[in-house]
Chain A
């Protein structure tokens, strides 16, 4: 018994991730935390998407189910779980059943290497970014088999179009990622590990989006466009748009199986946003860690997480006060006030010094990823859809040459000292 407690405690003062330290207990705890956090994030994204999209379109969105529609995702989940499970008549039952699992597996396994902090990852593989790109490309297989197994025209065409789109934009993503990895080698030794990439940005004291201006910025822009196309989101959502192909490859899926696709899509969005944040936006580092250094600046920045939640709680209380004073609204008012209390409570907990220090990295990482999620919803509300040939043209004729040119330019600019020395040596000979 004492040995077990000591095993659990021996990790707490180590400076490596649980996977690297070989500690099974904490690795399992981290996996469960990531799983729960991801599920909460997907549920929150569901509500946020509907509300934000509605407000962008000058309407209100779901307001009835809970106070301000806060229980709408739960109602959706219950509905999906209770729906009848239909399998098309001539469909291949085994493949039909396996396809959503492949997509969910690919979308969730990616989170093994996502770094929420210098030791807050499940493990730190030394091929981290390669692993993430590879496993997220396995979801194409799930989509193709889903379309084929439905034994119907629309899903098959939707699956083929969707997988062609994903494969094309993976190339552009890969080139943008390689130019970011090149920048890590400006320290002594380049690295593919996610934690190593953020530490390289820390050591060079510059987020890679600002490095070799404008090369880092263009690489980030290429990745930002390619990641929206990779996850089949607007404006690249022709394969699954309702007015085009009657929901594409997941037409024949209903109830729980459809919710698996939906879960996998949002998880993939969060995963590629994590890649973008880690590679270009400095991962878990707070803004200006070197410029605004010092005890007061550190204190102010460490109060930001708690302050954010208190601010959200304050907005909730303000809306509680604005609720109609009708007796039928009493339950919703109490519910909203309770939600505000929960948010304010979390904010107050985040002010405690012990918690403050540990939660800081996770908060900044999550805040940046949340910014990307808002961008996804913003794109959906703003841009019209690309036609499929326009989509492929952008992927192959615009992003790919730009990515290649960027890679060569980044390599030349990064190695300019050695190149000049080589050229001078060759000139003298």
Chain B
């Protein structure tokens, strides 16, 4: 318990991932759903950087592939948040609601 190993970081990442999944599946407010998606991406980043440290111990101090991948995911998350919020604004202008389950114009 006292010696922090890779497994500790992985368990923390898994816990954050679960919180994000619960947020996406149960909340009605679109903005909070988007923020839960950001939580999921952060959990993935934490896993990647923890694994990069593990990889460093095997393959030498310049094997930082996990960190590079994490930087790409942060960039990707920024792009996705921008587009998602743009869609949200466009929809809000039409229907004046921010709840996910009221986006049902195509239902029969």
Is A–B contact present in the complex under a CB 8 A cutoff? Answer: no
* B interface residue numbers (CB < 8 A to A): none
